[in-house]
Amino acid sequence: MKVLTKNTDYAIRSLLTLGAARGGYLSARAISREHDIPYQFLRRLLQEMIRHDLVVSKEGASGGFKLAKDPDEIRIRELIEIFQGRVQVSECMFRRQICSNRARCVLRHEIMRIGQVFGREFDSITIGKLMRDLDAANTRSAHGCIPAAAAAGENGAIAGKERDMKNEPQRMTQA
Amino acid sequence: MKVLTKNTDYAIRSLLTLGAARGGYLSARAISREHDIPYQFLRRLLQEMIRHDLVVSKEGASGGFKLAKDPDEIRIRELIEIFQGRVQVSECMFRRQICSNRARCVLRHEIMRIGQVFGREFDSITIGKLMRDLDAANTRSAHGCIPAAAAAGENGAIAGKERDMKNEPQRMTQA
DNA sequence: ATTAACTGATACTAAATTGGTATCAATTAA
DNA sequence: TTAATTGATACCAATTTAGTATCAGTTAAT
């Protein structure tokens, strides 16, 4: 279960870079190079963010993009909504045929609660906050990367060595 | 952003039904009918759940499936891990080329935290809990369905009427 | 004026994931 | 013997995600 898709991930990184540029225009090319984001792909993301008033652009030579608002006003949630659609727990859960059968609306309560927890989490994280995190991380000594397996939390992957239906490549690239 | 895919959704419903059967074997056909889950699709889900020791089966006429363990021991998280892969915030976030560039590991802290919040949420919900929720909902009066737009939380969809990159059908089926 | 670096807009393709169908063999209760 | 069942796969379709390509217009610098 991937919480952030590349769209969103790239968008976040781009906004962080634009934030660091502090008002100056940065070209899509520059951002693309900085984060190794496919150029044309990034351009589409940027245009989408223009449409949502997250960034503004300047055309022509030495043109580019800059943030359209205070980084603290840009919430991860908005990026997720733009690039991954509204946060919903299960799209089919509230459709009539489901709701009218025996287990109708069973999960409603938990569903709503989780939806809200997620919403709040994503609302609480802004580009401004991440910029400060980044600053802090940069002033402290450069710390290494942690392996992907730790991303899920306390314990690594729950599933054992058996073949899952959903089986991910399990790459553990280490520097 | 769909938190539960149909796989997982169907699996949860199936387990709830098996839980309600209290030890008796229930056929895939019966479960399929109960929840309008495509029969062959459901069978695959059930087999996967056998492999993960969530259910056991009995072959032959009047065979079927039953829970392999206490419903309180079956966590939604495990189902998500099985059918949607390990809960991770961004798969690319910890790969070398990203981590070694300027914004290396920026998001690490927030990422880890969110991953843990999600993990905990999903760990805390078990089939047993949902069964009790269902019972409670059934004893109280039958309540109607809520429209899908409310699923995200406090406010409806954040995005306005503009065309998003990720644009969902926006069906508001009402009973 | 010309040019090079840029954005605006959009069409297209490829890859991965998700959702669903079909088939055949083996098992078992009636 | 038969009908209902699971075991095991192979296949296909739809959707979503990721990435590429192209052409037109804008602008700063020369």
- The maximal CA–CA distance of chain A, rounded, in angstroms, is 63
The three-class DSSP label of residue B126 is: strand
Cα–Cα distance measured from residue A20 to residue A34, given in angstroms and rounded to the nearest whole number: 12
Burial code (b: 16+ CB inside 10 Å, e: under 16) for B101-121 equals eebbbbbbebbbebbeebbeb
Q: What is the value of pTM for the model shown?
A: 0.85
Beta bridge partners of B65: B26, B57
Residue A26 pLDDT exceeds 80? yes
Distance of CA B72 to the CA centre of its chain: 16
Among residues A78, A132, A48, which one has the least CA distance to residue B164? A48
Min Cα distance B61 → chain A (Å) is: 26
Cα–Cα distance measured from residue A159 to residue A122, given in angstroms and rounded to the nearest whole number: 27
pLDDT of res. B156: 35
pLDDT of res. B115: 78
- Strand (E) or helix (H) holding B57: strand B55-58
User: Is the torsion defined by CA of A38, A44, A47, A52 positive or negative?
Assistant: negative
Q: Which tens digit of pLDDT belongs to each residue from A29-63?
A: 999 999 999 999 999 999 999 999 999 999 999 99
List bases in chain C with any atom under 7 Å of a protein Cβ: 4-11, 17-23, 26-30
Measure, in angstroms, how far nucleotide C7 C1' is from residue A97 CA.
Answer: 47
The token duo for B119 is: 């993990």
Phi and psi angles of residue A121, each rounded to the nearest 5 degrees, phi first: -55, -50
Q: How far separated are the first and last CA of chain B, in Å rounded?
A: 25
Judged by C1' against the alpha carbon of A59, the nearest nucleotide is C7
The neighbour count for residue A55, using CB atoms within 10 Å, is 24
The neighbour count for residue A53, using CB atoms within 10 Å, is 11
pLDDT of res. A1: 86
Residue B141 pLDDT exceeds 90? no
Beta bridge partners of A58: A64
- Chain A window 53-72, residues with Cβ within 7 A of nucleic strand C: 57-65
User: For the ranges A20-34, A36-50, A80-94, B23-37, which has the lowest average pLDDT?
Assistant: A80-94
Cα–Cα distance measured from residue A95 to residue B36, given in angstroms and rounded to the nearest whole number: 12
Q: What percent of chain B has pLDDT over 70?
A: 68
pLDDT averaged over chain B?
A: 78
DSSP B37: -
Residue A158 or residue B74, greater confidence: B74
Cα–Cα distance measured from residue B170 to residue A86, given in angstroms and rounded to the nearest whole number: 10
Cβ–Cβ below 8 Å for A82 and B4 = no
Mutate to test the interface with B, among A13, A82, A88, A95 (most CBs of B within 10 A): A88
Tell me the chain A residues in contact with residue B127 when contact means C-beta distances shorter than 8 Å: none
The token duo for B36 is: 């309008």
The token duo for A73 is: 């006003």
The token duo for A74 is: 């840009």
C-beta of residue A55 within 8 angstroms of C-beta of residue A69: no
The token duo for A93 is: 């859960």
